[in-house]
Structure 1
Amino acid sequence: MKSTHVLSAVAIAAALSGTTALAQDGEGLRIGYIVNYATHEWYQNVILGMEQRAEQLGHTVEVIDANLDMARQVAAAEDFMAREMDVIIMTPVNEEGVVPILRRARADGVPIVLEGNPAPGMQTVVAICDYDTGYLAGVAAGEALGADAEGIRVMNVGLPLLSATILRSRGFMDGLQTVIPSAEMVHDLDGGGNPDRSQEVSAAALAADSDIDVIYGINDSSALGALQAWRAAGLPEDDLMVVGTGAEGLAFLNEMQTEGPYQLEAAMFPEKIGFTAIDTAVALFNGEEVPEYVISPTTALTLGEVSSYYSYDGESREIQWDAVNALEAPEQCMMYASDL
Structure 2
Amino acid sequence: MSRTSRLPSSLLRAAACTGIAALTLTACGSGSGSGTASTGSGDVKVGLITKTDTNPFFVKMKEGAEKAAKQNGVKLSTAAGKFDGDNAGQVTAIENMVASGVKGILITPSDSKAIVPALEKAKAKGVLVIALDTPTDPESAVDALFATNNLKAGELIGEYAKAAMKGKTAKIATLDLAPGVSVGVQRHNGFLKGFGIKKGDASIVCSQDTGGDQSKGQTAMENCLQKAPDINVVYTINEPAALGAYTALKAKGREKDVLIVSVDGGCTGTRAVKGGKIAATSQQYPLKMAAEGVKAVVTYAKDGKKASGYTDTGVTLITDKAQAGAASKDTAYGLENCWG
TM over 0.5, yes or no?
A: yes
Mapped to 1, the partners of 2:146 and 2:237 lie a distance apart of 18
1:170 maps to what in 2?
A: 189
Are the structure 2 counterparts of residues 86 and 57 from structure 1 closer, same or farther at C-alpha, using a change threshold of 3 Å? same
1:236 maps to what in 2?
A: 254
Mapped to 2, the partners of 1:205 and 1:183 lie a distance apart of 15
2:287 maps to what in 1?
A: 271
RCO greater where, 1 or 2, for CA within 8 Å and sep 6 or more? 1
2:147 maps to what in 1?
A: 127
Q: Which amino acid aligns with 1:192?
A: G
Give 2:67's match in structure 1, choosing from 31, 52, 58.
52
Shift of 1:100: 1.4
Query: Do the aligned partners of 1:152 and 1:183 also contact (CA within 8 Å) in 2?
Result: no
2:331 maps to what in 1?
A: 306
Shift of 1:284: 3.8
Shift of 1:183: 8.2
Mapped to 2, the partners of 1:97 and 1:175 lie a distance apart of 30
Give deviations 1:22-51, integer Å, cap 9, x for gaps: xxxx84532111111111111111112222
Mapped to 2, the partners of 1:318 and 1:34 lie a distance apart of 19
Give deviations 1:146-186, integer Å, cap 9, x for gaps: 2xx221111111123312211111111211228xxx98222
2:57 maps to what in 1?
A: 42
Shift of 1:287: 2.1
1:22 maps to what in 2?
A: none
1:200 aligns with 2:219: yes
For residues 223-302 of structure 1, what are the structure 2 equivalents within 5 Å?
A: 223-232=242-251, 234-248=252-266, 250-260=267-277, 262-285=278-301, 286-302=303-319
RMSD between aligned residues: 2.3
2:170 maps to what in 1?
A: 152
Are the structure 2 counterparts of residues 132 and 253 from structure 1 closer, same or farther at C-alpha, using a change threshold of 3 Å? closer
For residues 71-86 of structure 1, what are the structure 2 equivalents within 5 Å?
A: 71-86=88-103
Query: Do the aligned partners of 2:218 and 2:247 also contact (CA within 8 Å) in 1?
Result: yes
Secondary structure of 2:76's aligned partner: strand
Query: Do the aligned partners of 2:206 and 2:227 also contact (CA within 8 Å) in 1?
Result: no
Q: Which amino acid aligns with 1:142?
A: K
Query: Do the aligned partners of 1:173 and 1:185 also contact (CA within 8 Å) in 2?
Result: no
1:67 maps to what in 2?
A: 82
Are the structure 2 counterparts of residues 318 and 114 from structure 1 closer, same or farther at C-alpha, using a change threshold of 3 Å? closer
Shift of 1:306: 2.4
> Structure 2 stretches of 5 or more lacking a match?
1-40, 321-328
Mapped to 1, the partners of 2:217 and 2:203 lie a distance apart of 20
Q: Which amino acid aligns with 1:238?
A: K
TM-score, normalised on structure 1? 0.76
Name the count of aligned residue pairs.
Answer: 282
Give deviations 1:205-248, integer Å, cap 9, x for gaps: 2112121111111111221222222223x232222111110113
Query: Do the aligned partners of 2:273 and 2:331 also contact (CA within 8 Å) in 1?
Result: no
TM-score, normalised on structure 2? 0.76
Q: Which amino acid aligns with 2:274?
A: Q
Which 10-residue stretch deviates more, 282-291 or 294-303?
A: 282-291
Query: Do the aligned partners of 1:177 and 1:183 also contact (CA within 8 Å) in 2?
Result: no
